[in-house]
Amino acid sequence: MYERIASSIASRTTVLYSVLALVAFVFSAVVAIYFSRIQLEVQAVEYFLQFEDAIAIAADTSNDGELEKLLGSISRYPTVVGVELDHRGDLLHWLKPVVTSSCDNVLYHNVHNRADLVLGVCLDEQGVYRTAGFAALVLFIGLAGLMAIGNRILNGWLNQWLTLPLQAWLRRHRSLLPKTGATNDFKAFVQGSMHALSLTVRQKQLAERTIDTLDQAILLTDESYLIRRCNPAAVRLFAGDSASAKDLLGRDIRSLGRIGESLVELILEAVRRYDRLNFPPLHTDLVRLTPKMAVRGWLSPLKSDSGDAAGFVVTFLDLTEYFNVNQELQRVANMDVLTDIPNRRAFEVELALAFESATSDGEAHTLMLLDIDGLKIVNDTLGHATGDDMLRKIALRLRHALDDYHFLARIGGDEFAIILRNTAIKPATRLAHRLLRKLNETSYRVGKHDIQMTLRMGLREVNQHTISTSDVLAEADFATSSAHEQGGARVVVFEDIMSKRDIKRNIFDWRNHLDSAIERGKVQIYCQPIVHSSDARTHSLELLARMLMDNGSLATPVNFIDAAERFGHVRRLDMLMLEQLLTVIDQLPLGYQLNLNLSGETVSSPVSIAHIIQKLQKWGGNPERICFEVTESSAVRNLALASQHLHRLKDAGCTIALDDFGVGLSSLQHLRTLPIDILKIDGAFVQNIDHSVRDRSLVEAMVSLAQSLEMEVAAEFVSSKASMEILTEMGVNYLQGDFIAKAGPLEAWRQRAETQRLGIE
């Protein structure tokens, strides 16, 4: 009995000790797991801070060596570490270190959706799983011993209520128990981390290399305008080819010269107009850094990650090629291509500047116009290439003869202009005479030809009394025309001929009068009869233009013809006279012929000739009743073209008369070339024929020449009955002059036309 009691006590003692042992084992395992977890969490935080610093260093330096160091430190992390990065590689969030058997689940449930990249690692074989596994093993052995003892003592009861349920629970949860070793492949994590961080760094390196390879210079400055970053193009632009980035870093952008100062001014202006962080990209004006380089700076604000002002990004565009092309275009636009001196456009700008300084500051300048006589003959006989070479040589002589502060330009085909700056008219006149002698003293060698040219000059002072640039130009041009009329190489000063030109000096006024008269229908048609020398019967009427002035007086072509020719009104006037002719011709007796003078501009214009023929065809009358008179001076402007056009009028049935015969220099050439029907001897040879034996001989020779060419002859400016008799005796066919009949309104002559005879005694 005592043995059974002792055995029972022993058995119970064994169970008690077993229970105590089990409790001890469980307690030790729990304590071990708890302290291991606390220690590992502390280490995880420390390692994570190192991890964060390592990421920052690696991303900032873009150094592969730093990456290796970073990944080496990662391999020491003993627990789960979750890191979230954005697209730039900057840290967004890190996960609290945990001890778990499912690293993937922890990362999946704890990361933030805004992350672009997640890095995670579970503890390795040196970590808490080994500790937890050992404690779990002790717990498992203790439970097994307990079950063995209980099986002997409690037998079926323990087996039924403790052992079997515990075994079933273990079978169900065996897969969840911690195992020794890592649950994740740490090597795979290291490789993934290396790839992710390398990708981030490479993206940054790619961006930096792209900026470094750009031709545009790029600078990053801070808020104080100090340069914090620059690419090689910026170094070359501002520090030279042999410099490095350190030569620019830390410098104030204003130290770059004019372009830097312009940028700072632009920043200050932008800050005044816009918010400091929100202004559009701005650019400076084109700045010439060196004689061979021009740039423009583009400026944009730079923000930090927190949204604060961080400085400015400046991009410099090298616009040297654009600048050079623009300069060349400007040069071409203002230069005469043939002579390589300024053209009319540049001259007009310079003349405006001279006018402004004269009228505002009282300075005196002189405008000199230079006309080349005979250039057209050179072009017609030797070719335009020779004429061009001639112009280049004259321009070169002018450039060498003038001081640099004087302005020389070619303003027309054979016309040059010189602005003598700060030179009054008297010293300018002396300079003009010296210049003329120098230009004319030697001939011009062009190819195989030695050509002697005649140059004429007209001068006009530009002073505080000058009305406008157009006035001074017209007056200098008038002086040049006067020099041309006087012949030879000469200098004419406008101030010297002002009193001689009378009405002509008001050429602009006459232009205005002519414009008004044409538009308001104040151009009246007068006519002067041309009679047969044999019986004084009216043969024809020469139509003459008269302009009705506002005061009721009549102006003759002597007053306004210069303005009409100079300002391009003469062709318009010719067409107006033709329309009047076609209106009245059918109201006159059929025996009357009407004579109409055509200007050189009309004779040389294919459009005008075609218009005349069209008008004649529309009229439908007998074209033989119309005689077109042309002067030698008008025909000689373009003899070949004039001959062609006059032949067209003659073929249309009209009569052609050569007016003012005898005053030209090539009259015989005209008679041979032009389709002349009637030769009108100039009045200079006729008006004194009753007193001058020389004039009589010349007229007699002209009449004989015309008769030999089967032309009729007319004489104008007949001044006496004796002159009429002399001319009739010589064989002149038609007579005209104030002695016979003065010019009068066409209507009056139409009413008297029925008499058919003037009744001259």
| Residue range 247-304, pLDDT digits in tens | 888 888 888 777 777 777 777 776 666 655 555 556 566 555 555 566 777 777 776 6
Residue boundaries of the structural domains of the chain: 10-196, 214-324, 335-500, 516-755
Residue 714: is its pLDDT beyond 90?
yes
The C-alpha atoms of residue 342 and residue 142 are separated, in whole angstroms, by: 113
278 strand-pairing partners? 275
Q: Would you state the pLDDT for residue 418? A: 93
The C-alpha atoms of residue 341 and residue 344 are separated, in whole angstroms, by: 10
Mean pLDDT of 650-675: 80
Residue 376: is its pLDDT beyond 90?
no
The C-alpha atoms of residue 504 and residue 498 are separated, in whole angstroms, by: 9
Sheet of 415-420, strands arranged across: 407-410, 415-420, 365-373, 454-462, 491-493
Q: Would you state the pLDDT for residue 8? A: 54
Q: Are both 214-324 and 516-755 of the same fold?
A: no
pLDDT, tens digit, 9 for 90 and up, residues 505-540: 567 777 888 888 888 888 888 999 999 998 888 889
Mean pLDDT of the chain: 72
Residue 187: is its pLDDT beyond 50?
no
| Higher per-residue pLDDT: 657 or 555 | 657
Helix, strand, coil shares of the chain as percentages rounded to 5?
55, 20, 25
Q: Which CATH number is 214-324's, of 3.90.79.10, 3.50.50.60, 1.20.120.330, 3.30.450.20?
A: 3.30.450.20
| Higher per-residue pLDDT: 367 or 600 | 367
Q: Would you state the pLDDT for residue 614? A: 93
Mean pLDDT of 223-251: 83
Q: Would you state the pLDDT for residue 156? A: 46
pLDDT band for 369, please (50, 70, 90 cuts). Answer: very high
Torsions phi, psi of 182, nearest 5? -75, 145
| Higher per-residue pLDDT: 115 or 504 | 504
Residue 409: is its pLDDT beyond 90?
yes
Mean pLDDT of 628-638: 75
Mean pLDDT of 455-468: 87
Residue type, 376: K
Q: Which fold has domain 516-755?
A: TIM Barrel (3.20.20)
With 0-12 CB in 10 A as exposed, 13-18 as middle and 19+ as buried, what is 203? Answer: middle
Residue 576: is its pLDDT beyond 70?
yes
| Chain center to CA of 151 | 107
CATH 3.30.70.270 fits 335-500, yes or no: yes
Across 91-105, 201-215, 677-691, least confident range: 91-105
Mean pLDDT of 316-332: 71
| Higher per-residue pLDDT: 205 or 502 | 205
Percent of the chain with pLDDT strictly greater than 90: 17
pLDDT band for 196, please (50, 70, 90 cuts). Answer: low
